[in-house]
Structure 1
Amino acid sequence: MKKTLSLAASLVVAATCALGTALPAHAADTTGTATVTSRSLQSAIDTSTMSPQTKALAERMLAKLPPDWESRSRAAAAKYGIDDSQWSEIRESVINPDDHQCQSTELKTWARSLLLGAEDPFVIFMLSIFDGFNLPTYDALIFGTESPSNTFGTNGEYTQKLTAEMKNLKRFWDIKSSDIQLIPLHGADIFSSPERVARTLSVLYGGTPESQLELAEMFVEMVNMEPILKGGANPIFSFNAFAYTEEREPNPTGIPDRIIVGDGILQGMTGVGLGDVAPRAIVSHEFGHHVQYEDDLFVSDLPAPEATRRTELMADAFGTYYLTHARGEALNTKRLLSSEQSFYEVGDCGFDNPGHHGTPNQRLSASSWAASVANAAANQGHILPSLKFAEQFDAKLPDLVKPDAG
């Protein structure tokens, strides 16, 4: 497995979906999710009420893209693990949503507000169609490097906390981890440099960075055209956090093991009052995925939604066990509750979605269970081997995901 998009990948698109009612009827499905194809995109542009400036720029971009830009974009997403299948198709439900309480969370409400009030919703629409919101993610994943000069947070406010967290996690878990890198994901940085946009577009659409420079300048122009995007500084561009590995990949690209943390997700957690503990919870969760990679814990006979839910809840549990343990962060009760709330906030209700991560209640339950394992241990100085902890988690899993609707 290459990549686990966790925490916020779905919200990047979900936030744009809030604009669905402003889009041409044939350019959105019943949920508002953009479904435009190359065959209908020009028609959508022609029949829309977008401003002449936006229309002209969209047509220039469409003319500059290769004829098979859609398939190239999908191929890049598959190659690097940017999994958007949850938005392209709805699969048959494998569990009954009515059996589970699944409510929205403050974090999702916060994220969905990021694009409200856009002066020209069609700028948002075109950027989503052309994968513009994913450009910073590709840039961080493929071209990001670990460096003492890296900063985390819009003003570098989380840099010390997160870098210290990585060192502690590497000491705590019993896996090979010296090669795991911590990489920041910023939004405005890439859109202030057409050259960086161009090298990323060359990954998505082919060609050389030099040949993509003109198209890159158009992307920068489009981002700067809509004030609410703040030149790429809007948190929507960096509202993500994920773990990446090429462990056991038959055709590795050479990207090292890494954890990428975006400014947007840190802003979001701060926005809902969890800025103290949530950044640690995010990194410890993503490190939990690397434990799974190294221990080969992704293997499962479960169907896609339930298999993904298992790995996500297990990563929540790995993260909370570390945060609670006396030799980890040893969080006190108050801060532990904030940590558990962090996992609750990123639950989702996509029961039939192959990328389903667990409901808010399920994620909270997994976190609470892991805390109890650490707190109930007779020897508070003993760290359970990761495989032993995973074994206990799998035994507990049916109880964590049982129906909870009353």
Structure 2
Amino acid sequence: MKKTLAWAVTLVTAATCALGTALPAAAADDVTASASIASSGSPLDTSRLPPEAKALVDQALADLPADWQERRDAAAAKYGIHDTQWAGILNSAIKPGDYQCQNTEFRDYSTSLLAGVDDPELLDWLYVFSAFDLPTYEALFFGSESKSNTFGYNGEYTNQLTSEGKNLKRFWDIHSDDIQIVPMHGGEFYSSPERVARTLAVLYGIKNDAVVLRLAKVITGLVNDFPSLKGGDNPIFTFNAFAYSEEGNPNPSGISDRIVVGDGILEAMNAIGLGDTAPRAVLAHEFGHHVQYEDKLIDKTTLTGPEATRRTELMADAFGTYFLTHSRGEALNTKRVLDSAKSFYQVGDCSFSSVGHHGTPNQRLASSAWGASVVNDAADQGHILPSLKLDELFEAKLPDIVKPDATN
């Protein structure tokens, strides 16, 4: 079984942001990974670009393999770039009547990231070339755990997340020594054409070093042409954190188990007032996915499609909160943790028919609250439940968590 990313900003999100608008609720169900250029089905047309930009894009197109779009899409599918909890932030379809679902500060923040961009069409080309996803691919292909790593634009989350990573490995009863906690920095990545080049070489299978470096310089140049993109430090490039494992994959790529945390998502949490404990909640949630991978919990269900995805995400919310509030975990105050659990509430969606459905805001908050209640109601506050036992309790609670909650 292929294990994939647990969350990320996706091509869908990048394309939507590139157009500078949030999707109308009624239209969001019909959206697939597309931008105006990529979805047209017509030959790629650079004629409307300013001359200097046109020359750069034409050079990039000339350097790419003839089947580069197929290679791009195949890589996104192989590594699960679209199978993420953040994929629906701007792609939520509201189904009124049964569930309470509303806009959140997080979605409002995400739609503001590319506001004021002067040339949406050139931004579309960055989307077409996967520029918004390249930092994700670099962290996936080349990232590694190191004492020199920093988390956050100014390293402000480094100590917190490094310490928590060690605590998570001690807390859960799974094989976790090989799980690496890896940062992702957009500006640092786009300041190095050589790093961009090695990522493009893997993504597109380009063997010619000179050609791929030239392509990297073109894409880096386009990124740096937009002041609002901040040379790659705009949070949109690293609006991303994910768990990855090839446990059980019959065709592994040789990528080690990892959790990647982007600067952009940490900045987003801080921007909406959740910077205190939300980063720890994010890391605990992603580690919950690794518990699922090691315990083979993802396939341990009769649910399919959106309901199956919702189950794994709500379980990761519950597992993460269980760790954060447990006296032998982070030992955080329950109210403080549930306040930070709004980081998942904020990302809840109502895309009930989408395979990327991860639970409504209320369901995600309820799952976290349940995880805390298991800790608070335990007779032995120092006992850590085996992960399989915690799963057993969660499976019994899940129908209650996901039951309709609308009041009218």
Cα distance in 2, alignment partners of residues 30 and 257 from structure 1 = 31
Contact 2:6 2:84 in 1 (8 A): no
Amino acid at match of 2:298: F
Shift of 1:14: 4.2
Q: Secondary structure at the match of 2:255?
A: coil
Contact 1:321 1:374 in 2 (8 A): yes
Q: 1:207 to 1:251 in 2, by over 3 A?
A: same
Contact 1:136 1:185 in 2 (8 A): yes
Task: Specify which of 40, 43, 59 is matched with residue 42 of structure 2.
Answer: 40
Q: 1:209 to 1:294 in 2, by over 3 A?
A: farther
1:260 equivalent to 2:292? Answer no
Q: Secondary structure at the match of 1:213?
A: helix
Match in the other structure for 2:26: none
Amino acid at match of 1:18: G
Residues paired across the two proteins, number = 391
Amino acid at match of 1:285: H
Cα distance in 2, alignment partners of residues 168 and 14 from structure 1 = 38
Q: 1:61 to 1:159 in 2, by over 3 A?
A: same
Q: Secondary structure at the match of 2:153?
A: coil
Match in the other structure for 1:354: 355
Cα distance in 2, alignment partners of residues 206 and 84 from structure 1 = 23
Q: 1:284 to 1:139 in 2, by over 3 A?
A: same
Match in the other structure for 2:385: 384
Task: Specify which of 18, 38, 55 is matched with residue 16 of structure 1.
Answer: 18
Match in the other structure for 2:283: 283
Match in the other structure for 2:327: 326
Q: Secondary structure at the match of 2:261?
A: strand
Q: Secondary structure at the match of 2:6?
A: strand
Q: 1:31 to 1:286 in 2, by over 3 A?
A: closer
Cα distance in 1, alignment partners of residues 14 and 281 from structure 2 = 20
TM-score of the pair, normalised by structure 2: 0.90
Match in the other structure for 1:212: 212
Cα distance in 2, alignment partners of residues 38 and 32 from structure 1 = 12
Amino acid at match of 1:216: A
Q: Which digits, 9 at most, give the CA deviation of each residue in 1:6-39, with x for residues without a partner?
A: 2654644543343589xxxxxxx87995152484
Shift of 1:209: 6.2
Contact 1:8 1:265 in 2 (8 A): no
Q: Secondary structure at the match of 2:109?
A: helix
Shift of 1:208: 2.4
Contact 2:349 2:358 in 1 (8 A): yes
Contact 2:187 2:233 in 1 (8 A): yes
Shift of 1:297: 0.4
Q: Secondary structure at the match of 2:280?
A: helix
Match in the other structure for 1:345: 346
Shift of 1:3: 1.6
Cα distance in 2, alignment partners of residues 384 and 77 from structure 1 = 36
Cα distance in 2, alignment partners of residues 356 and 2 from structure 1 = 17
Q: Which digits, 9 at most, give the CA deviation of each residue in 1:351-385, with x for residues without a partner?
A: 21111111111100100111111101111011111
Q: Which digits, 9 at most, give the CA deviation of each residue in 1:221-271, with x for residues without a partner?
A: 110111111111111000000000010011111111100000000000000
Match in the other structure for 1:25: none
Structure-to-structure mapping, 1:146-161, within 5 angstroms:
146-161=145-160
User: Where does the alignment leave 5 or more consecutive residues of structure 1 unmatched?
Assistant: 22-28
Amino acid at match of 2:252: P
1:248 equivalent to 2:248? Answer yes
Match in the other structure for 2:117: 118
RMSD: 2.4
Match in the other structure for 1:374: 375
Q: Secondary structure at the match of 1:237?
A: helix
Match in the other structure for 2:63: 64
Amino acid at match of 1:77: A
Q: Secondary structure at the match of 2:242?
A: strand
Structure-to-structure mapping, 1:302-321, within 5 angstroms:
302-321=303-322
Contact 1:17 1:32 in 2 (8 A): no
Match in the other structure for 1:173: 172
Q: 1:70 to 1:152 in 2, by over 3 A?
A: same
Cα distance in 2, alignment partners of residues 312 and 13 from structure 1 = 24
Match in the other structure for 1:403: 404
Match in the other structure for 1:26: none
Q: Secondary structure at the match of 1:5?
A: coil
1:230 equivalent to 2:253? Answer no
Amino acid at match of 2:239: F
Q: Secondary structure at the match of 1:99?
A: coil
Q: Secondary structure at the match of 2:341?
A: helix
Amino acid at match of 2:20: A
Q: Which moved more, 1:72-81 or 1:31-40?
A: 31-40
Cα distance in 1, alignment partners of residues 152 and 5 from structure 2 = 21
Contact 1:97 1:351 in 2 (8 A): no
Contact 1:20 1:32 in 2 (8 A): no
Shift of 1:303: 2.1
Structure-to-structure mapping, 1:125-164, within 5 angstroms:
125-164=124-163
Amino acid at match of 2:315: M
Contact 2:5 2:84 in 1 (8 A): no
Shift of 1:4: 2.8
Higher helix share: 1
TM-score of the pair, normalised by structure 1: 0.90
Q: Secondary structure at the match of 1:63?
A: helix
Match in the other structure for 2:51: 52
Contact 2:239 2:263 in 1 (8 A): yes
